[in-house]
C-alpha cells in the first residue's frame, strides 16, 4: 500500500447551484484531517455551508483563496491519505502534476450529483493568503479570528473595516453586516471608491439573487392583479386566538392567516401551483404546495420553504412560517431548506408599504405580496367607518395562469380575510 493524494472537489450543494464562494479555510497545508472534519466554509446563493472532509489524512495543497468563486466540480484541495489504494478519482502522491481529465463532480451525503463534468482549470489558483481561525499578529502573538457571518466578512472587506474592532450583536456575539456598517459609519475609510461613491463587490447571495430575478423578469411574462379589502375581522381573530389555549405559544400573525387563505385558494385554482417545463413543452401542475416565504436577512433576500403547506392547519402553518423565516435570518438554513418552493408569499407590509408588484421566484407560477394593514375609511353597510384595510398583489406567469384564474384566486383570499372564521376555524 502506498500513500495517495485524493482530490476534494466542490460538491453539488443543492438544486440549480453551479458554484459557491469560498469564505474561509478551516485547515492549512500540513494539517492532519479526521474523517468528516470541517475543512472549509463556502457560501452559495442559498446559505453558508461547512464542507466536511471525506478522507482522513494530511492537507497536501489548497487550490483556492477566500473570496474566490469556485465552480461545482472544481478541485478545492488535495489530501494525502496513508496506505490507501488508488482509484479513478485519486492522484498518486508521487505525481501531483499529472495531466488532468474531466471528471464528474464529487457528491456530499444529502446532496445530489451535478448533471455535467466541470473543468478544474477554473479553480486552479494558488493560495496566496490563508484565512484560518488563528492569525499571527505583528507582535508575534496569536490573534483569534473574529466570529462573523460570511456576509459580514465581505462587507468588512468592501468597507475596509477591521473585524477585530467590531462588536458583534448577533447570537453569541457573532458579527453581522449591520455591525460592520455601524462601525464603518463611525469614520473608517472605504475600501473602494471616492468621496462621492462607494463600490461594493457583487458576489454571494446578492449576485445570485440578481441573476435569478433577471432571468425571471425576462423569461416569464409577468402580470399582476390587485385587491384592497377589509381585514378587520382577520386582525380581531388573530388578537383573540393569541390569548386562547389552543394557540398558546404559537407564532400567529396576519401573514399566517393570509398564507392559509392562499392554500385554500390554490385548492380551487391549482394553476397557481404549477411550473413551465420548456424542454418538455409541458405544464407541470404540482399536487403538493411547498410555500416559499420571502425573508430579508443580513446576507440579502432568502426564500426558505415550508413544505406541504397545503396539509397544515392555521396553528401549524403559523409556526412553520416563523421557523423558516427565523432559520433564514440566523443563517441556520441549509441549501435544501431554501430550494424547492412551488409558490411564494412576501410581506412588504412589514416595511410600511401598501402594495407592490413582486417578481416571480424562478420556476414558479405565482407570488402573493401582502401590504401593510392600516386604518382607513371604509364603507360598511352604507355608512363610513374606520376599518383595518390591506392591499394584496398577486403576480403570475401568464403562460401558466390566466387573468380569470388569478382574479378568482385573489378574490377568494380576500373573501377569507373579510370573514376568516368559517374557513380557517370550522373547516379542517
Q: Please compute, for residue 286, the number of CA atoms within 13 A of its CA located in the half-sphere on the CB side.
A: 25
Q: Helix 150-159 vs helix 204-219: angle between axes, to the nearest 10 degrees?
A: 100
- 4: closest CA among 76, 88, 84, 98? 84
Residue 251 designated active-site: no
How far is the first Cα of the chain from the last one, in angstroms, to the nearest whole number? 65
Task: In whole angstroms, give the CA distance from residue 289 to residue 186.
Answer: 47
According to DSSP, residue 339 is labeled S
Distance of alpha carbon 255 from the chain centroid: 20
Task: In whole angstroms, give the CA distance from residue 379 to residue 302.
Answer: 39
Task: In whole angstroms, give the CA distance from residue 390 to residue 234.
Answer: 11
Q: Which three cell numbers stand for residue 7?
A: 482530490
Angle made by CA atoms 68, 73, 76, in degrees to the nearest 5: 45
Task: In whole angstroms, give the CA distance from residue 103 to residue 9.
Answer: 10
By annotation, the residues acting in catalysis are 398
Amino acid at each position: 500500500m502506498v500513500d495517495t493524494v485524493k482530490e476534494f472537489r466542490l460538491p453539488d450543494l443543492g438544486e440549480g447551484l453551479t458554484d459557491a464562494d469560498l469564505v474561509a479555510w478551516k485547515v492549512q497545508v500540513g494539517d492532519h484531517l479526521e474523517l468528516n472534519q470541517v475543512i472549509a466554509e463556502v457560501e452559495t446563493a442559498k446559505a453558508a455551508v461547512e464542507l466536511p472532509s471525506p478522507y482522513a489524512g494530511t492537507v497536501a495543497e489548497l487550490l483556492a483563496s477566500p473570496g474566490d468563486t469556485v465552480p461545482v466540480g472544481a478541485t478545492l484541495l488535495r489530501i494525502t491519505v496513508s496506505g490507501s489504494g488508488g482509484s479513478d478519482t485519486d492522484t498518486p502522491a508521487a505525481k501531483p502534476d499529472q495531466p488532468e481529465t474531466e471528471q464528474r463532480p464529487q457528491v456530499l451525503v444529502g446532496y445530489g450529483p451535478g448533471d455535467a463534468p466541470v473543468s478544474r482549470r477554473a479553480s486552479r489558483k494558488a493560495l496566496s493568503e490563508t484565512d484560518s481561525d488563528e492569525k499571527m499578529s505583528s507582535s508575534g502573538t496569536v490573534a483569534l479570528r473574529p466570529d462573523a457571518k460570511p456576509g459580514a466578512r465581505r462587507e468588512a472587506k468592501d468597507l475596509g473595516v477591521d473585524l477585530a474592532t467590531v462588536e458583534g450583536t448577533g447570537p453569541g456575539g457573532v458579527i453581522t453586516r449591520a455591525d460592520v456598517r455601524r462601525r464603518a459609519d463611525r469614520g473608517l475609510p472605504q475600501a473602494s471608491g471616492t468621496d462621492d461613491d462607494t463600490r461594493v463587490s457583487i458576489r454571494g447571495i446578492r449576485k445570485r439573487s440578481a441573476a435569478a430575478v433577471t432571468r425571471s423578469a425576462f423569461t416569464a411574462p409577468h402580470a399582476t392583479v390587485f385587491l384592497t379589502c377589509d381585514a378587520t375581522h382577520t386582525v380581531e381573530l388573530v388578537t383573540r386566538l393569541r390569548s386562547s389555549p389552543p394557540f398558546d405559544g404559537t407564532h400567529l400573525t396576519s401573514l399566517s392567516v393570509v398564507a392559509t387563505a392562499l392554500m385554500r385558494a390554490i385548492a380551487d385554482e391549482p394553476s397557481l401551483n404549477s411550473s413551465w417545463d420548456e424542454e418538455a413543452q409541458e405544464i407541470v401542475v404540482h399536487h403538493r404546495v411547498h410555500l416559499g416565504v420571502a425573508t430579508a436577512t443580513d446576507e440579502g433576500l432568502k426564500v426558505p420553504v415550508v413544505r406541504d403547506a397545503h396539509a397544515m392547519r392555521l396553528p401549524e402553518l403559523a409556526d412553520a412560517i416563523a421557523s423558516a423565516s427565523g432559520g433564514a435570518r440566523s443563517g441556520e438554513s441549509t441549501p435544501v431548506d431554501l430550494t424547492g418552493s412551488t409558490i411564494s408569499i412576501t410581506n412588504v407590509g412589514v416595511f410600511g408599504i401598501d402594495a407592490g408588484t413582486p417578481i416571480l421566484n424562478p420556476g414558479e407560477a405565482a407570488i402573493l405580496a401582502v401590504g401593510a394593514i392600516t386604518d382607513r375609511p371604509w364603507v360598511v353597510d352604507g355608512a363610513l367607518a374606520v376599518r383595518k384595510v390591506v392591499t394584496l398583489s398577486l403576480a403570475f406567469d401568464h403562460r401558466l395562469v390566466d387573468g380569470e384564474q388569478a382574479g378568482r384566486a385573489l378574490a377568494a383570499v380576500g373573501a377569507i380575510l373579510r370573514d376568516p372564521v368559517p374557513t380557517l376555524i370550522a373547516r379542517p
